[in-house]
Amino acid sequence: MSTTTLLVRQDQLATTRLTTTDDTPLADGQVRVRVESFALTANNITYAALGDMLNYWQFFPTGEAGWGIVPVWGFGTVVQSLHPAVAVGERLYGYWPMASQAVLSPERVNPTGFSDGAPHRAGLHAVYNHYLRTSTDGLYRADNEDVQALLRPLFITSWLIDDFLADQQFFGARRMLLSSASSKTAYGTAFQLAQREGIEVIGLTSPGNVAFCESLGCYHRVVTYDALNTLDGATPSVYIDFAGSVGLRQRIHAHFTGLAYSCSVGASHVGDLGGAGQLPGPRPVMFFAPAQVKKRHTDWGAQGLNDRLVAAWNQFSTAVSAGPQPWLVVQHHAGPQATQALFATVLAGSGDPRAGHIATLLPG
């Protein structure tokens, strides 16, 4: 058997190549998983853009200097097992390499899942190392795997952003400014924030996405990037930056003199990503979802956190799939070449904002 992998040049994300390698025998305690479907979104571009800063390249090392594997969320099936507590045929949800197969070393196995105990992942955050058995996963539904792969990790981030801001009493502000308002993570955040009494949610986007953002029904107002000066800059506000655009961040900080907090989340504008030097107002702070997970795990316990997430996810996933014209339109891409082409498309930020891309490196 062999494994096909999409490699990405770490310092030039548009440069990719496909490799196929023969599978090596499993060691005792390992399992081999066929990666059957995964989402490819701007979230994965953020993983690549911030790969060195936040250690995303370390999850699935290539052994080749300068080349990395972008992690993806999705589903796989165990096809070979040398672990007594993990059976062939088990279906798993988790964090995979962009490859046709993955080898895991299960540890801390329990009825809900396990963690990958591979030595190179020991120092990485536990949230990304955990794999869930779909047979016992409270968020899993067999009839909407595509929606789960596309939106579940993004929505959990969105839910945690909303929870973090509420936990901080919105830093004294009542107006939230969300860049890249058409992105999936921004939408999930706006969906949650819109349920907060007294919070105004403003979506910032390009002219071509205004109608789409307005159709989502969770932005109180949608403003184009070139019309920022129509908003009162003195009003206390929180900026939630899903774009990672240096130029936009500079304009936001310069115009909004009442900015109470600047939260950096994503990097959908990779070509404009980087430091902005000295900025007026508060220093931008990178939001790291696992830190809020850890806090709420301490506050509420594992079951309390899970119950809240399940309830919120069920509400959100129903909303995005409802109606005669659902917000999310799933598109499938099968095979190595199709996945490679899709990565280039997502990196370029082109395509229909309603589209959700599900890929696999397995042949179509």
Q: How confident is the model at residue 270 (pLDDT cuts 50, 70, 90)?
A: very low
How many Cα atoms within 13 Å fall on the side-chain side of residue 85?
12
Instruction: Give helix then strand counts, H and E, for the chain.
Output: 8, 18
Residue 263: is its pLDDT beyond 60?
yes
Residue of 115, 127, 33, 38 lying closest to 75 (CA atoms): 38
Interatomic CA distance for residues 270 and 266, integer angstroms: 10
Would you state the structure tokens that stand for residue 277, as one six-digit string? 């030097």
Is 301 strand, coil or helix?
helix
pLDDT the model gives residue 329: 86
Is the separation of the CB atoms in 360 and 5 below 8 Å?
no
Interatomic CA distance for residues 253 and 241, integer angstroms: 11
How many residues does this entry show for the chain?
Answer: 364
Q: Percentage helix, strand, coil, to 5, in the chain?
A: 35, 30, 35
pLDDT the model gives residue 350: 67
Interatomic CA distance for residues 123 and 342, integer angstroms: 31
Residue 274: is its pLDDT beyond 80?
no
DSSP codes joined into one string, 185-219: HHHHHHHHHTTSTT-EEEEEE-GGGHHHHHHTS--
pLDDT the model gives residue 176: 98
Residue 226: is its pLDDT beyond 70?
yes
Residue 275: is its pLDDT beyond 80?
no
186-209: per-residue pLDDT in tens? 999 999 999 999 999 999 999 999
DSSP-derived pairing of the beta strands 285-286 and 259-264: parallel
Residue 277: is its pLDDT beyond 80?
no
N- to C-terminal Cα separation, the chain: 17
34-43: per-residue pLDDT in tens? 999 999 988 8
pTM across the whole model: 0.81
- Which DSSP category does 66 fall into? T
Interatomic CA distance for residues 60 and 98, integer angstroms: 9
